[in-house]
Amino acid sequence: MCKLQRWSYTAGTMISSRFHKPCTLLLLLASGCADRCAEPGVKDDTGPCPTWYFDLDGDGYGQDERATVSCSEPRDHALQGGDCDDSSAEIHPGAPELCDTYDNDCDGTVDEDLELLPWYPDADGDGYGDPLGEPVEGCAPPSGYAGDPTDCDDGDPLVHPGAEDLLCDGLDADCDGQGAEAEAVYDSVEYGSVEEAVDAAERGAEVLVCPGRHDTLLELPGGTQLTLASWSGDPEDTVLSGGETHRIILVEPGSRLTVENLGLEDGYSDSPSPTYFIQAGAAVMGEDADLIMDGCVVRGNLSVRNGGAVTVYMAQDSELETRELTVRDCLFEDNGSDGVSALFYYSQGVGGDQYVTIEGSTFQHNTAQEASTVWVFGEHNPEGSLDARVSSCSFIENSSATGAFRFTHSGSEGSLTLSDSIFQDNYGSYPSGHGGLALDLSEGASAIVSGSGFVDNNATGANGGAIDMDLSGDNPWVEITGCNFEGNIAEEDGGAIEIGDVDGRGSVWILDSTFTGNAVGLLGGAIHHGYVWDGDESLSLLIDGCLFTDNTAGDCGGAIAGQGGEALIVI
């Protein structure tokens, strides 16, 4: 410890004027001595100690209210204060102002000096706003708003620009202006109409029709090969319509059309034409063309001529080597015509083989004023054959003049095979109203009917409540085996089966069948055969293994009756 004393100074030598004992002295500045004697931690040898501010977020700016003076840096402190949010390193004096509703630079204002942008209502939250909505301004979108006003459906989060646009879903998912009104798809491209898609399709291509009801008028040029199918596979939700004003599809010669799982409804045809049958086929008219129909619903079509719904007409000058009509798993319902109401196949003077196949299909509530519900007709085809096969079909409550199904063939080889089908509640109108099946065979044509049921069919004013047949020419023959005839009625002859006047040499075999409760106004409650003309005409009628129960006739032959000529009946 140094004690202050009075000093005398001579020539650089300090001599105390009074002292008690010698001591070594250091020359000290008065100010240094004063600092050493100051409060510790407040001052040091450089001057006053700085103020430190508690800095929780480490951004170099601390809290003004938590300041401390120290000559050494305290932990978690900074030399600058003014931090208005010490929990965020992004917020402090001098920080760039962001559009985030915070005072980033701690100047007391929020989001100042930033560009204000329009924001549009985004009800479905897909990031795209409604262009028709009322916009609000701000530097950032409020909740429920978006900056891109290009949403074409703000009620569906799956619909917006850039979204996956599924084909045939009825939506313009990517808002490109296409897809919402698409009717058909070809080669993964949507088209606004079925006609446009068909026009774009190459030969042999498939055009898929989108769900919906589409007013359609297709005219397929000669040589077309096309498959027209439902996108969904459901003919009830994918319908081509004629709008009750026009035909739906016209197929020109040399073409092949396949129609799958489509509805064909409300077609109409009454156009005059030098070609008789061109007026037919309100749903589909094919001239010298192959037609394949699979899983279709053909409903409510009307033609003033034959083929109220579908007609295929094969002419003598056809260029096709073989000809085909196939109808599989289809429904023909509520179709009408002055002629054939549902389905008409007609060939005239055609060479080559013809194949008509109808399977798994239902024909119900169709009305034919002057002909049949279904008619397969081959006429004057000396160089070809007609092979018709009908299986697992139902003919229910149809009204026609010449039967629910009619097969006519003359002039060459022709055959009908009908199996495992049902004819029920069909009604034949006057004057020649056969109720169920009508067969017109000549010159070697044949028909085999097996495993089928004929129930409650009615031939009003005519013959053959279930089956009516006319045989002419050389060796036409019919075999009926394993069938059931029940409750059929004819006003004149043949309550179940009528074999009309035979003009030639014909054979009829009826085997292993049952006849129950059939009735007739005149002759043959179950079976009747007409006149067999004298000369070279003859009828060979074989009835074997059959059961007859409760059949009645108004005149004679409750079970079987025959009239005149040469007929051989074996039972």
- 571 residues of the chain, pLDDT tens digit each: 334 343 333 344 433 333 334 433 333 333 333 343 344 556 666 778 999 998 898 888 988 899 899 898 899 899 898 889 888 888 899 888 888 888 888 988 887 888 888 999 999 999 999 999 999 988 888 899 999 999 989 998 988 888 877 788 777 778 877 766 789 999 988 898 999 999 999 999 999 999 999 999 999 999 999 999 999 999 999 999 999 999 999 999 989 999 999 999 999 988 544 455 556 899 999 988 999 999 999 999 999 877 789 999 887 555 566 789 999 999 999 999 888 889 999 887 776 788 999 999 999 999 988 888 999 998 766 667 889 999 999 999 999 888 899 999 876 678 999 999 999 999 987 566 678 999 999 877 899 999 999 999 999 878 899 999 988 888 889 999 999 999 999 988 999 999 987 777 788 999 999 999 999 999 999 999 887 655 566 788 899 999 999 999 998 888 999 876 555 566 6
Residue corresponding to tokens 């070594």: 24
**Which residues does residue 418 pair with via DSSP β-bridges, in sequence order?**
390, 449
Residue corresponding to tokens 């299986």: 391
Q: SS3 for 32?
A: helix
**DSSP element (H, E) containing 51:** strand 51-54
Query: Given its phi and psi angles, is residue 146 left (phi above 0), alpha (psi -120 to 50 degrees) or beta?
Result: beta
Pairing of strands 446-450, 352-359: unpaired
Q: pTM of this prediction?
A: 0.77
CB 127 within 8 A of CB 148: yes
**DSSP element (H, E) containing 52:** strand 51-54
**Helix %, strand %, coil % of the chain (to 5):** 5, 40, 55
Residue 263's closest CA among 304, 213, 191? 213
Render 137-158 in DSSP notation, one character per residue: EESSPPTTEES----S-TT-TT
CB 239 within 8 A of CB 214: yes
> How many alpha carbons fall within 13 Å on the CB side of residue 215?
5
The CA-atom distances, in angstroms, between 519 and each of 337, 511, 545 are 29, 20, 21
